[in-house]
Structure 1
């Protein structure tokens, strides 16, 4: 059973990078589901100023946590190069917040959390959309005393959430950076996601999502991660790093049966990525967040893309990774063209592929420092 400490009182913890919890009450969801007594896990860095005008929200990516920056902990953050004292997003000046999305497994109410009867939600956890997550996060912003974000920025799923914030809550977002993300998930992106979700659901240990008293569906989760990771990296990067090289001590042509052959290095690499994720992430949360991303469409119920974006009140920064084969740069150009006014698309030049939004984000340093965080 998952238990939570009491909700914090404002002002929040002064310990940068430490997970905190807030109760936001019952959440009515876009598709008709209801979650009672929702808790959001979040981390903060820096201090909120007197008029709450220096708050910055950084939504995490699909399997990311709220640990954006190391802060006063021993654990490195996933955007340490960008966030911290004296860095582009200077936490001596700005109050940075990252919130675990509803349905996740890093502090917020999710499928592994206890329902009102004290049992894991499991298969009964309702469908959650990115729009639902914004509404939940807005309640936490209220508790923190933040009426309007100085900026909301994120990459991949985090970028989709940032964009949804700017469209759903236009008066609360002064600046919005959408990095390696699109206005809506495309057919191909949904197809890649569906294969990952199916890999988890077809694992015999999944048990329809009710596996918390037994074995977790680690094989299915690992396969989902393998599929995803291929889309996160470019063909050129995989070829350069691995090509057809065998794993040391193994021969891919050895053995009379397929199961007896040795592995290529790229296979070992994918196995390693699968094992890492299976050791830290919940399979049900992977399904919930993946299907939320599949549903991503800022135009839903809002007309055309131009119509949907016409009511935004933010200064926008749109960026793409030039080698991204999951979120193609052309889709970022389409988003920029539909925004009110003129918007340049900033390209991150990274041979790695989609994950360049993590590894090479400092290529946006100048534009961020001269605009968003001047």
Structure 2
């Protein structure tokens, strides 16, 4: 590709400190401007046309605008990112791990997927390099071997490697670098949630709130809680205009058709008492007696049968119970972690039992694949509850 500076004998901006490759110079009453010639504009146009062809978009023949669309923008959306959309190979030479990327152009905390070509030895000290001269310290959060799939987080001074191939069953920890995991997930893939959107480290992003809004033709709906049960996202949705609550069930494999769950018996009250929902994978527990009561410790229990919810009873927990999203249900007990204090409430007797106090240890309690885990950063540890 040619730059204006490289083209001889044409008027151009001579401030090369400000414009290293020069730029267009306007015509004045005393000086010629940069001409409209092939040498200047040809490369730009042919590259734009090439982008459209590679994206398999035929030029429409119409001017791009808000009405007809922006074909170049649509073409760029289709391209993969050769930095982190393509699996890299993590090579080892001596005690230097490396990938074939220029690390100097990357932002801080940049994620890269790579496959290990060699084993990691925790007794050795490694460094990390890209295709340039920069060198970084290198640590593996969990052990990996040749052939394992890794997530690399490239920081300003160090690189952390997380083994994606290591199963949860054989480890007491998993990595959680992307935010708040779902409070309940009986699958193996870690899903995170934020403002009605779930995302994973695959990477992939699913806008569940947007899908529900579209299906209900209501752009005000808010999704407050999301859980994953047997391949279906269970979403607690709130309608601000009517103060109503509904629960939706959305297949993990296809989020385009949310289904409102049907209360065969029981159901939400007409008042907004800000109910929270929990699950153990077989039943759904709703605080405030399904919003029929101001008492958050009054818990309605519903059995799940596909898209149906059937009322199976109410339990009054100790009135010391405070509803929180930082909770899991295991072995008929609701464990809550509030301000570092872990306690459980028996969903049969309602009993409140203090478990432990973790001063200055704020984090997230969640259930994944049958285990309870605690995370306060990049790594979540299994808790034996």
TM-score normalized by the length of structure 1: 0.25
Larger radius of gyration: 2
Return the structure number with greater relative CO, CA threshold 8 A, min gap 6: 1
Structure (1/2) with the larger helix percentage: 1
